């Protein structure tokens, strides 16, 4: 319905429109969106998602096929979600040979996400050789964290190698702040809960602490990732069980979390269906909620209180049982069970419980953030 006016506007160069193809490579899927982005507007022209193990070139081929069959305008800019920028990339940027070198270095910190994202970038460069392409970093949002939160308690000599807390799901956090607009509270906690999951504390819209650390494997329990572990466990596995780096990586990233505890699945929907007949599935759900609740409580301490908690991500947005279970036990902070509301994010903040805390459920719009950043970057470079 909006295609004709959007296309007409984009034909007038003074309107500053770009057609951005946003490519969002995650740990378990590849999402894409085609957006018409102007100075004060964003219109979705096409979107889709591929799940499961599919190599980047094949997945991009499917996306190109969808674009070819699309009646609207072709992309003029491409934006990529990059989970880890490493120590040398702290802001969204144009992808050039130097940036690619830095992303190669960052693979050491994100072996689950980095290599497929780089493969997708290279495939997109082959498919769209004339278009500017930008790296939109999940880590960029957390560059505002103070040293108190970002420095890790190990010898300082490792800091020069980039060993510190980075934080992730930054594009998701940005999208929450974008949706809230003028109603962003002073002290907010964002719980991005999906196959990957993290909890972030924001002060006046800026990240001051987050649950993930050097890598996206740390923090709360996730689908197949362990989250934080006693380092002694890793030493035990190395010393007594003959593990090496590769087997530790497999254990931490692919065999742990909800999947490891339940022995059934990393999918919360499957675990809910299995919980009545499987004590292990029920325990996995309870442990996940307990882990998130503990981290929210920690972030309340960091913020010295909280004005709003926002749930987002696949689980956070859609699983009312999980949200209610997490909120149980937080009544001391003004949070009550069942407080989560799917309301208008731009409406004035309403307390969902006494005395002060609003609990909201908002969609994660990472792709739209990629589109906005890509348009801004190409406009700035013009």
| Residue 340 confidence (pLDDT) | 53
Give me the catalytic one of 55, 138, 230, 267: 138
| Residue 346 confidence (pLDDT) | 56
- Per-residue pLDDT tens, the chain, 382 aa: give them: 233 345 544 543 447 899 999 999 866 678 999 999 999 999 999 999 876 667 888 888 889 989 999 888 999 999 999 999 999 999 999 999 999 999 999 999 988 889 989 999 999 999 999 999 999 999 999 999 999 999 999 999 999 999 999 999 999 999 999 999 999 999 999 999 999 999 999 999 999 999 999 999 999 999 999 999 999 999 999 999 999 999 999 999 999 999 999 999 999 999 999 999 999 999 999 999 999 999 999 999 999 999 999 999 999 999 999 999 999 989 999 997 554 555 556 554 443 434 579 999 999 999 999 999 999 999 998 7
| Residue 30 confidence (pLDDT) | 86
| Residue 382 confidence (pLDDT) | 74
| Residue 8 confidence (pLDDT) | 46
Is 138 a catalytic site residue?
yes
| Residue 59 confidence (pLDDT) | 86
| Residue 54 confidence (pLDDT) | 74
> What pTM did the predictor assign?
0.91
| Secondary structure string (H, E, C) spanning the chain | CCHHHHHHHHCCHHHCCEEEEEEEECCCEEEEEEEEECCCCEEEEEEEEEECCCCHHHHHHHHHHHHHCCCCCCCCEEEEEECCCCCCCCCCEECCHHHHHHHHHHCCCCCCCHHHHHHHHHHHHHHCCCCCEEEEECCHHHHHCCHHHHCCCCCHHHHHHCCCCCCCCHHHHHHHHHHHHHHCCCEEEEEEECCCEEEEEEECCEEEEECCCCCCCCCCCCCCCCCCCCHHHHHHHHHHCCCCHHHHHHHHHHCCHHHHHHCCCCCHHHHHHHCCCCHHHHHHHHHHHHHHHHHHHHHHHHHCCCCEEEEEHHHHHHCHHHHHHHHCCCHHHCCCCCCCECCCCCCCCCCCCCCCCEEEECCCCHHHHHHHHHHHHHHHHC
Q: Which residue has the tokens 């002694």?
A: 232
| Residue 129 confidence (pLDDT) | 95
Domains and CATH numbers, the chain: 3-137 (3.30.420.40), 179-361 (3.30.420.40)
| Residue 1 confidence (pLDDT) | 28
| Residue 12 confidence (pLDDT) | 39
């Amino acid at each position: 319905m909006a295609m004709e006016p959007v296309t007409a506007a984009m034909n007038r160069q003074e309107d500053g429109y770009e057609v951005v193809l946003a490519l969002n490579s995650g740990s378990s899927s590849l999402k894409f969106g085609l957006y018409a982005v102007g100075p004060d507007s964003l219109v979705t022209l096409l979107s889709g998602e591929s799940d499961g193990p599919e190599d980047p070139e094949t997945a991009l081929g499917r996306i190109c096929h969808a674009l070819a069959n699309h009646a609207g305008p072709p992309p003029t800019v491409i934006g990529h979600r990059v989970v880890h920028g490493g120590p040398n990339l702290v802001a969204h940027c144009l992808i050039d040979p130097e940036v690619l070198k830095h992303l190669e270095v960052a693979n050491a910190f994100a072996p689950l996400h980095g290599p497929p994202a780089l493969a997708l970038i290279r495939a997109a460069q082959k498919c769209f050789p004339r278009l500017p392409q930008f790296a939109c970093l999940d880590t960029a949002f957390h560059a505002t964290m103070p040293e108190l939160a970002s420095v890790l308690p190990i010898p300082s000599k490792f800091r020069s190698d980039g060993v510190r807390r980075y934080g992730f799901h930054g594009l998701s956090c940005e999208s929450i702040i974008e949706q809230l607009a003028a109603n962003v509270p002073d002290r907010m906690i964002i719980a991005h809960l999906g196959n990957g999951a993290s909890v972030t504390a924001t002060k006046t819209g800026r990240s001051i602490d987050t649950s993930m650390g050097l890598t996206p494997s740390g923090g709360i329990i996730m689908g197949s990732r362990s989250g934080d572990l006693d380092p002694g466990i890793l030493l035990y596995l190395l010393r007594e069980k003959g593990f090496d780096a590769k087997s530790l990586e497999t254990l931490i990233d692919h065999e742990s979390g909800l999947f490891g505890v339940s022995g059934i699945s990393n999918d919360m929907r499957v675990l809910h269906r299995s919980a009545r007949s499987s004590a292990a599935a029920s325990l996995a759900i309870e442990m996940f909620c307990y882990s998130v609740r503990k981290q929210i409580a920690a972030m309340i301490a960091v913020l010295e209180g909280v004005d709003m908690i926002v749930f987002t991500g696949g689980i956070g947005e859609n699983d009312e049982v999980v949200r209610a279970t997490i909120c149980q036990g937080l009544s001391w902070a003004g949070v009550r069970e069942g407080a989560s509301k799917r309301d208008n994010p731009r409406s004035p903040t309403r307390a969902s419980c006494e005395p002060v805390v609003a609990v909201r459920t908002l969609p994660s719009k990472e792709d739209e953030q990629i589109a906005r950043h890509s348009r801004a970057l190409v406009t700035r470079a013009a």
